[in-house]
Amino acid sequence: MPETLTVCPLSELPPGAKRLVEWDDLEIGVFNCNGAIYAIEDRCSHDDGPLVEGVLHEESCAIECPRHGSLFDLKTGKPTTLPAYVPVDTFPVVIDDNMIKLEVD
């Protein structure tokens, strides 16, 4: 059974906003891109860059690693530009009673 992690009320993460949550020893970036909520592991697969500190590209729903600039698709966790080439983990998002929740395991 996956565990459910409550992030915050939907109203606290408007479009364009992002935040970091911690669960166990994992750090997870949570993003609102044009009203859709996405959650990915906050550690670039290239050299551990803190993805949530990067620029959110809202037109493509991608986050730009602040360390060397790889773009990661928030929906899939896959990098779309080098130097990263390995995907990062993504987490299912559930909106329950206007609260953002993540399924983690």
- Name the site residues for ligand FES (rule: CB under 6 A): 44, 46-47, 49, 65, 67-68, 70, 83-84
* Between 83 and 87, CB nearer to ligand FES: 83
Pairing status of strand 18-23 against strand 93-96? unpaired
The least distance separating ligand FES from the CB of residue 29, rounded to whole angstroms, comes to 13
| Omega within 30 of 0 (cis) for the link into 79 | no
The least distance separating ligand FES from the CB of residue 65, rounded to whole angstroms, comes to 3
Using CA of residue 19, residue 23, residue 25, residue 26, what is the dihedral sign?
negative
